[in-house]
Amino acid sequence: MHPKLSLDQESNILGQFIPVHYHYNMLLDEQRMEAFRNAIQSVIRSGMRVVELGGGTGILSFLAARCGAKVWCVERNIELVEVARKAIRSNGFESMITVVHEDATEFIPPEPVDAVICEMLHVGLLREKQAQVIDAFKKNYQARFGDRLPRFLPEASLLTFQLLEYPFLFSGYQVQVPVFQQPTPNQVGIELSELQTYGQVIYDESYPMQFGWSDKVTASQSGHLSAIRFITQNLIAIDTEKQCSYPWPNQFLILPIEEPIPIEEGQEVAVEFCYRAGESLQSLSETIRISKQIHNPSIQSTPRVAA
Ligand SMILES: C[S@@+](CC[C@H](N)C(=O)[O-])C[C@H]1O[C@@H](n2cnc3c(N)ncnc32)[C@H](O)[C@@H]1O
């Protein structure tokens, strides 16, 4: 949690709170929708019972109900509860989906369920409370129904980063701000290292709430290290029968470094950062330390990433 905010205030900050007029972005994000559509079709069968945590407009609950499931769609923003109830009625699914106005960390379904869908996914598991919400749900569920857990969609998230040369030049104006990129190849920036994995969450197992890195990274090519790019891949479902999976990458996050460092291919760079799941981008930025591993420690530089 942000140190200066109460729980109530925190639930109102952007990321936790996503206004109705932002939801079209998610509905129109075809890469996201395709991954969830395919995953839900591969896992959900007629007669199953499903919970959706953070249902928003109800789109993922609808996809599960369309496969024949009975669904509890849990949403804490009353505006979205109303939007979802209206949309579910007008799509003719009100007998299959119950929209529950409740905090997902407190919700327990009235009977055991087969699957839980939760899309509070943000790069690095930052900003949204995916990790906390699923962890709380598991504890509440097991206290009520025993150890056996339902299947979780997504099944896993893989957290990685790489060193980057990024221009931070916009219409000829240089400014160091966090940048989001579409999660597709050939984005702006020169990759200066391989991807480094710093965290893995498997949602039906116990997982860490704190992530970080404190180790060397070897430069894969020479350049001006000016940023770190965070890349998160989510596996929405794994279909063992068809031997395929339905991945969905979050937008890439690029955090600038105050002083770019020239580095040579093969050179080692010490990188440190740490943050708690669900925290702000700034709380991650503030912990980042980077230093060149050079032989004479008296001329070692330690620039910090801009907050
Ligand atoms: C990224 S949106 C996804 C919405 C919808 N599932 C979709 O896929 O379009 C996350 C949703 O979770 C809701 N949410 C966040 N924290 C919650 C909580 N603790 N309990 C219930 N809903 C929550 C937000 O209001 C938002 O509607």
Over residues 29-49, the pLDDT tens digits come to 999 999 999 999 999 999 999
Tokens encoding 170: 């916009």
Predicted local confidence at residue 212, as pLDDT: 97
CA-36 nearest atom, ligand 1: 8
> For residues 288 and 260, what is the distance between their CA atoms, to the nearest angstrom?
14
| Chain segment 162-221, per-residue pLDDT in tens | 999 999 999 999 999 999 999 999 999 999 999 999 999 999 999 999 999 999 999 999
CA-80 nearest atom, ligand 1: 27
> Phi and psi of 125, rounded to 5°?
55, 30
Q: Are the beta carbons of 140 and 113 closer than 8 angstroms?
A: no
Taking 70 as the pLDDT cut, the residues of the chain under it are: 1-16, 294-307
Instruction: For residue 295, give the 3-state DSSP assignment.
Output: coil
CA-23 nearest atom, ligand 1: 9
For tokens 């029968």, the residue is 241
Predicted local confidence at residue 14, as pLDDT: 60
Q: How far is the CA of 185 from the centre of ligand 1 (A)?
A: 28
Q: How far is the CA of 97 from the centre of ligand 1 (A)?
A: 16
pTM over 0.75: yes
Q: Are the beta carbons of 127 and 287 closer than 8 angstroms?
A: no
Q: Are the beta carbons of 233 and 251 closer than 8 angstroms?
A: no
Predicted local confidence at residue 5, as pLDDT: 47
